[in-house]
Amino acid sequence: QNDDDGQRVLDHLAKKFVGKVAVVVDEDVDIHDPGAIYWALSYAMQPHRDVRVVDIPLMPLDPSIAPPGANRGLTGEKPRMSGLLIDATRDWPYPPVSLPRQAFMEDAVQLWQELGLPELKLRTPWYGYNLGHWSAEETEEADLAVRGDYYLTGEKQAGQRRKLS
């Protein structure tokens, strides 16, 4: 994915858009889950930068065009209709999804099933994954914590302390 993929999709949509709202999201966002769409809208876009209002073809039966009895575009001057094009793709690397890694979650699901607990209704994302802003050092520190050696990270950081003046 390129940083401008979302904008390129919207550029194409702007030429033929029929509708009121179109949202472009990253491929890891479940487009069938409204909660996932809201998450992308909340965390991956800024309205001043990522939202465009475009003119769209007139739909005279749309009740939002004009109040009852007003010109709806069938005769005379046509009212303006517009739509929103929203780029809710991440423009740069983000921190990982803040859930345990897939292997841990799969083990938890297996244990859950072995215990005969009620069926899980997992929603994407149901495990954590990297979104680009997570270094090899941070992965190593996370592995230390999983092994119970979390204190080694603290010792390393203690050796990196600097006096502030």
- Count of domains in the chain? 2
CA distance 82 to 55: 4
Q: Are residues 39 and 14 in the same domain?
A: yes
Check: CB of residue 135 under 8 Å from CB of residue 141: no
**pLDDT at residue 2, rounded to an integer:** 66
Q: Does residue 93 lie in a domain region?
A: no
CA distances from 7 to 49, 90, 145 (A): 10, 11, 40
DSSP assignment of the chain = --TTHHHHHHHHHHHH--SSEEEEE-TTS-TT-HHHHHHHHHHS--HHHHEEEEE----TT-TTSS-TTS--SSSSSPPP-EEEEEEES-SS-BPPPSS-BHHHHHHHHHHHHHTTPPPP---S--SB--BB---HHHHHHHHHHHTT-HHHHHHHHHTT-----
**pLDDT at residue 92, rounded to an integer:** 93
Range of the domain at 19: 5-88
Of 35, 55, 88, the last residue of a domain is 88
Q: Is-cis flag, bond preceding 125, omega within 30?
A: yes
Q: Are residues 54 and 76 in the same domain?
A: yes
Q: Are residues 109 and 84 in the same domain?
A: no
CA distance 45 to 4: 13
**pLDDT at residue 15, rounded to an integer:** 76
User: What pTM was estimated for this model as a whole?
Assistant: 0.76
Q: Are residues 44 and 109 in the same domain?
A: no
The enclosing domain of 82 has a CATH number of 3.40.1670.10
Mean pLDDT by 10 residues, the chain (165 residues): 78 78 94 95 96 88 86 80 93 91 95 97 90 91 92 92 88
